[in-house]
């Protein structure tokens, strides 16, 4: 993908972890990037990598008026060529029978409502060939005790990718979904801090860290950017890309000669 000056890439959750690495990778590829997040300091740290190409907007995407601010920040005459829905909330964790209703609604607002309605708000700024990418998870497909809200919201996000894909394909706006693996990010620190009573699988994630089995944010972001930028239209949309899938890894690594 060759970026034009009148095109923009938007990355939510761009202040830390995978979102930061994706934003910086997009800037290196020549894109103008707008990163969205709630905290200004991490956003500024991401933008410091390339202040001329990376702009920031502090916004809570769970709120409708904040999503409207994002759409309003797109300059007149600019096409949103790529939109990466990376922002997500893992909490509330713990047994479903104990989950707080307000915490549940907050998780759904961040993980489900924000991608649906931010996409909706930005569609007038897209064009044929624009790409929207959902950052998915194995939790979308496999139940995990203690992750009820996260599993449910990621499953919903996976279905939303498929519905938007079917609805917008005739207009040439392309939707993809990707599983970047278990990435060494602040979210993993939160997971490892849980008690076994709240999250029975915590020991597995502790061992992954101890054994050096986490993907670096930069490596996972490279896989994400390959799928977002370098795949063909049908290839981008037809399957959910999974970094742990051997065939998907082979396709990615073949382009990198890794």
Residue from 2, 128, 25, 176 nearest 11 by CA: 25
**Using one digit for the tens of pLDDT, what is the confidence trace for 159-201?**
999 999 999 999 999 999 999 999 999 999 999 999 999 999 9
- pLDDT over 60 (residue 258): no
The average pLDDT across 4-9 equals 96
Q: Measured between alpha carbons, how far is 136 from 224 in angstroms, rounded to an integer?
A: 11
- pLDDT over 90 (residue 1): no
Q: Specify whether the CB–CB gap between 62 and 88 falls below 8 A.
A: no
The average pLDDT across 203-224 equals 97
Q: 256 falls in which pLDDT band (50, 70, 90)?
A: confident
Task: State percent of the chain over pLDDT 70.
Answer: 99
Q: Measured between alpha carbons, how far is 200 from 190 in angstroms, rounded to an integer?
A: 14
Q: Measured between alpha carbons, how far is 190 from 90 in angstroms, rounded to an integer?
A: 9
Residue 156: how many CB atoms within 10 A of its CB? 17
**Integer Rg of the chain from CA:** 18
**Using one digit for the tens of pLDDT, what is the confidence trace for 47-79?**
999 999 999 999 999 999 999 999 999 999 999
Domains and CATH numbers, the chain: 7-181+220-252 (3.40.50.720)
Residue from 139, 95, 149, 118 nearest 10 by CA: 118
Residue with structure tokens 């959902």? 134
The per-residue DSSP string of 28-60 comes to: HTT--EEEEES-HHHHHHHHTT-TTTEEEEE--
**Using one digit for the tens of pLDDT, what is the confidence trace for 11-34?**
999 999 999 999 999 999 999 999
Q: Specify whether the CB–CB gap between 88 and 110 falls below 8 A.
A: yes
Q: Measured between alpha carbons, how far is 211 from 201 in angstroms, rounded to an integer?
A: 16
Sheet containing strand 54-58, edge to edge, reads 54-58, 33-37, 7-12, 79-85, 131-135, 174-179, 240-242
Catalytic residue set: 150
Q: Measured between alpha carbons, how far is 163 from 57 in angstroms, rounded to an integer?
A: 28
Q: Measured between alpha carbons, how far is 172 from 218 in angstroms, rounded to an integer?
A: 29
Burial class of residue 162 (count of CB atoms within 10 Å of its CB; 0-12, 13-18, 19+): middle
Please report the pLDDT score of residue 136 as a whole number: 98
Q: 257 falls in which pLDDT band (50, 70, 90)?
A: low
**Using one digit for the tens of pLDDT, what is the confidence trace for 107-152?**
999 999 999 999 999 999 999 999 999 999 999 999 999 999 999 9
Cβ density class 6-24: b for 16+ within 10 Å, e for less: ebbbbbbbbbbbbbbbbbb
């Amino acid at each position: 993908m060759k970026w034009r000056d009148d095109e923009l890439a938007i990355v939510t959750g761009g202040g830390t972890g995978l979102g930061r690495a994706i934003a910086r990778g997009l800037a290196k590829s020549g894109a103008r990037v707008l990163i969205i997040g709630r905290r200004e300091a991490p956003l500024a740290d991401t933008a410091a990598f390339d202040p001329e190409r990376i702009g920031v907007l502090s916004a809570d995407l769970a709120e409708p008026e904040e999503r409207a601010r994002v759409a309003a920040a797109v300059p007149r005459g600019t096409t949103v060529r790529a939109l990466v829905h990376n922002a997500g909330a893992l909490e509330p964790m713990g047994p479903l029978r104990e989950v707080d209703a307000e915490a549940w609604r907050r998780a759904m607002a961040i993980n489900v409502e924000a991608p649906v309605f931010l996409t909706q708000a930005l569609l007038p700024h897209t064009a044929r060939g624009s790409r929207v990418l959902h950052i998915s998870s194995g939790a979308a497909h496999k139940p995990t005790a203690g992750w009820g809200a996260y599993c449910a919201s990621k499953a919903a996000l996976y279905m939303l990718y498929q519905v938007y894909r079917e609805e917008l394909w005739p207009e040439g706006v392309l939707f993809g979904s990707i599983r970047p693996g278990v990435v060494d990010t602040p979210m993993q620190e939160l997971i490892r801090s849980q008690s076994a009573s709240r999250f029975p699988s915590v020991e597995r994630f502790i061992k992954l860290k101890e054994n050096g089995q986490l993907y670096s944010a930069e490596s996972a972001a490279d896989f994400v950017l390959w799928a977002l930028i370098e795949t063909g239209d049908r290839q981008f949309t037809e399957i959910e890309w999974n970094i742990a899938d051997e065939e998907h890894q082979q396709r990615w690594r073949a382009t990198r000669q890794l």
